Structure 1
Amino acid sequence: MTTTSSLHNGILFVRLAGDLVGPPDTAPLVQAVNEYLGAAVTSCAIDLSDVRYINSTGIGVLVSLLTKFRTRGGEMVLINPADHPRKLLALTKLNNIFTIAADEAAARHQLTPAAL
């Protein structure tokens, strides 16, 4: 799993690639988010377009991160989940809980009111 993160106009963008299946794969994601949460960032977009596989631990981490942002009055958006993550989100009905954006521009548009 590779994780890259950047901050643009108060929105944390995290891009994941590989498999999101638990430690140690989830640790860089949680670390990146926690680092920016300390800087009072309340909006996040996580790009799942290059995530091949995700299991229940990976889903649990995403739910945990969503909770962190929402308890701070913010929001988290998932960007273009690949086939397997999209199917798992639908199977668990978490696609009704997470906001899913088609691309980074759509995520930015959805999160801009929360970032202001």
Structure 2
Amino acid sequence: MKYQTELKDDVLFIRLEGDLVAGPDTQRLMAVAEEQVENKVLLCAVDLSNVRFMDSSGMGVLVSLLTKFRNRGGELVLIKPSDHIRKLLIVTKLNAIFTIAENDNFAAQFLKESIY
């Protein structure tokens, strides 16, 4: 899995690509998220549009990220998961805890409204 991060208007955008599975990249990603939370970044949008596959550990990463931001009074949304990832979220009932946005603008708007 590859990832890129960008801080734009107080929103941390995490763009994932490839397979979301356990490994060194997910550990680094969690460390980056922790660092941003420590720096008072409370809003996060995870772009899943280029994620091909996700296993249970990948789902755990998403839940951990959500928990990390919500525990500090923040929020996290998922951006444009593929049909395969959407089905996984539904089957695991994680669609009930995650908000899904279709693009960056909607994600940023939802996030900003969620804490104000």
Fold match (TM-score > 0.5)? yes
Partner of 1:88: 88
CA distance in 2, matches of 1:65, 1:100: 15
Distance 2:27 2:109 in 1: 28
CA contact (8 A) 1:11 1:115 kept: no
Distance in 2 of aligned mates of 1:39 and 1:114: 19
Counterpart-to-counterpart distance in 2, 1:115 and 1:40: 13
Structure 1 equivalent of residue 102 of structure 2: 102
Output the amino acid matched with 2:12.
L
Two-structure CA RMSD over aligned residues (Å): 1.3
CA offsets 1:60-92 (integer angstroms, 9 cap, x no match): 111011011111111000000012211110100
What residue is the counterpart of 2:22 in the other structure? 22
Unaligned runs of 5+ in 2: none
- The code of the aligned residue for 1:79 comes to I
Structure 1 unaligned regions, length at least 5 = none
Give the AA of the match of 1:44.
C
1:37-48 matched pairs, under 5 angstroms: 37-48=37-48
TM-score of the pair, normalised by structure 1: 0.93
Contact 2:34 2:68 in 1 (8 A): no
The separation in 2 between residues aligned to 1:99 and 1:16, in whole angstroms, is 17
| Aligned-residue offset at 1:102 | 0.6
- CA shift at 1:53, angstroms? 0.2
